[in-house]
């Protein structure tokens, strides 16, 4: 059985599958449930300074197999109410990463400081929600803003800081480089792609907010391209996210350069049991390909790594292919 354990941004993960922010993250018991279901770590809902109801429904549009469109609008109970949820989540034993959002660097730093005090293992900065006025993409689209926010947060905490990068830009790698300059321990990519659905019979957008973010299988190739470019551009770890529903999806991200991956929308289609299945199938896939450890496969598809074959493998037909 291949070793799925990874070291990422100073955190030791039993497997590379993290619960993505926004999914199952409002309640501590849900976060703990994701750990029990096999997540290697969990990322909280993005928490802000104040309680926030988010947008009215409809907040979601579903597509049969290939994805979801959502505009939740960053609902969260606020940092004052959140400690009790984190305390419950921590009891499950896996790393809990606190996701935070704010409108400026000082706001991020204050939330990061308060989240860090709750005992989380790391912080993820939401610089990429595509549909919340004044937050997310609106503060995370310019490299200099990303660098300033990350630098300010890094100065306020000793915890590893992960910058979650938007794909809704021409050059995600430039944002990742900015995060690295600011002192980020890792970058995660991607958040959802800005998207829209219209109901023709009602002649109106489906989502109450109009624009939303697309997630799920449809966005995997986009996420892979971003991770690929970011891996070439930075030397800090990359966490891949976007459309991962199978072990092969995950390994694509790893070979594109990700050290860990986040899983979200797959839970809507396969339930929380998806974590156990992903680990089991990834282990089998690595065995089949001759990898003893997942970490050997990180970036393996990059020519700069010589399209690295498994260190532990012989000249199998697959591992030897160029």
Partner 1 sequence: MRTVVRVAERVEETPSTVTLRFPYEAPAAPGQFVMVWVPGDDELPMSLSYVNGPRKGVTVKVMGATSRRIQQIGPGDLLGIRGPYGNRFDLSPRRILLVGGGSGAAVLAPAAEAARARGGEVSVALGATRSSELLFRERFSAMGARVEVATDDGSEGHHGFVTEVADRWIADAPFDVVWTCGPEVMMRKVLASAAGRSVPVFCSLERHMKCALGMCDACAFGPFHVCTDGPVFSAEQLTRAEDFGRFHRDASGRRVPL
**For strand 198-199 and strand 204-205, is the pairing parallel, antiparallel, or unpaired?**
antiparallel
In SS3 terms, 69-112 reads as EECCCCCECCCCCCHHHHHHHHCCCCCEEEEECCCCHHHHHHHH
Return d(Cα 281, Cα 107) in angstroms, integer. 41
**Closest to partner 1 by CB, 68 or 300:** 68
Q: Is 129 a catalytic residue?
A: yes
**Closest to partner 1 by CB, 82 or 231:** 82
Q: Output the smallest distance, CB 17 to partner 1, in A.
A: 16
Q: Output the smallest distance, CB 271 to partner 1, in A.
A: 7
Count of beta carbons in the 10 Å neighbourhood of residue 313? 15
**Closest to partner 1 by CB, 70 or 141:** 70
Cβ atoms of 44 and 97 closer than 8 Å = yes
Question: ∠ at Cα 166 (130, 146), nearest 5°?
Answer: 110
Q: Output the smallest distance, CB 61 to partner 1, in A.
A: 7
Cβ atoms of 76 and 47 closer than 8 Å = yes
Q: Output the smallest distance, CB 267 to partner 1, in A.
A: 6
**For strand 41-43 and strand 17-19, is the pairing parallel, antiparallel, or unpaired?**
parallel
DSSP code for 243? S
**Closest to partner 1 by CB, 65 or 171:** 65
Give the interface with partner 1 as residue ranges (CB under 8 A): 22-27, 29-30, 32-33, 45, 51-54, 56-64, 68, 70, 72, 75-78, 81, 199, 201-202, 204, 206, 208, 264-265, 267-268, 271-272
Q: Helix, strand or coil for residue 23?
A: coil
Q: Output the smallest distance, CB 124 to partner 1, in A.
A: 17
Return d(Cα 67, Cα 195) in angstroms, integer. 12
Please pick, among 6, 123, 129, 244, the residue that the annotation labels catalytic: 129
Kindly list the catalytic residues: 129
């Amino acid at each position: 059985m291949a070793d799925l354990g990874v070291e990422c941004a100073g955190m030791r993960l039993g497997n590379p599958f993290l619960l993505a922010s926004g999914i199952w993250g409002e309640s501590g018991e849900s976060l703990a449930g994701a750990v029990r279901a096999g997540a290697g770590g969990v990322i909280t809902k993005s928490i802000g300074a104040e309680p926030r109801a988010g947008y009215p429904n409809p907040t979601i549009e579903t597509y049969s197999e290939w994805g979801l469109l959502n505009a939740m609008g960053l609902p969260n109970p606020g940092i004052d109410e959140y400690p009790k949820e984190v305390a419950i989540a921590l009891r499950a034993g896996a790393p809990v990463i606190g996701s935070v959002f704010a409108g400026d660097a000082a706001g991020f730093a204050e939330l990061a400081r308060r989240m860090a005090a709750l005992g989380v293992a790391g912080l993820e900065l939401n610089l990429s929600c595509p549909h919340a006025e004044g937050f997310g993409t609106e503060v995370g689209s310019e490299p200099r803003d990303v660098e300033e926010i990350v630098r300010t947060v890094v100065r306020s905490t000793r915890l590893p800081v992960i910058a979650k990068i938007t794909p809704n830009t021409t050059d995600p790698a430039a944002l990742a480089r900015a995060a690295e300059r600011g002192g980020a321990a890792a970058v995660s990519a991607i958040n959802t792609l800005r998207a829209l659905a219209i109901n023709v019979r009602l002649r109106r957008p489906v989502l109450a907010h109009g624009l939303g973010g697309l997630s799920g299988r449809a966005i995997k190739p986009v996420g892979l391209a971003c991770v690929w470019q970011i891996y070439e551009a930075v030397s800090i770890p990359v966490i891949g996210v976007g459309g991962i529903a199978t072990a092969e999806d995950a390994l694509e991200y790893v070979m594109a350069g990700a050290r860990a991956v986040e899983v979200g929308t797959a839970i809507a289609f396969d339930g929380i049991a998806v974590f156990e299945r992903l680990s089991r199938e990834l282990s089998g896939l690595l065995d089949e390909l001759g990898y003893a450890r997942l970490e050997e496969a990180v970036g393996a598809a990059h020519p700069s790594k010589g399209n690295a074959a498994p260190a532990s493998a012989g000249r199998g037909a697959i591992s030897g292919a160029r």
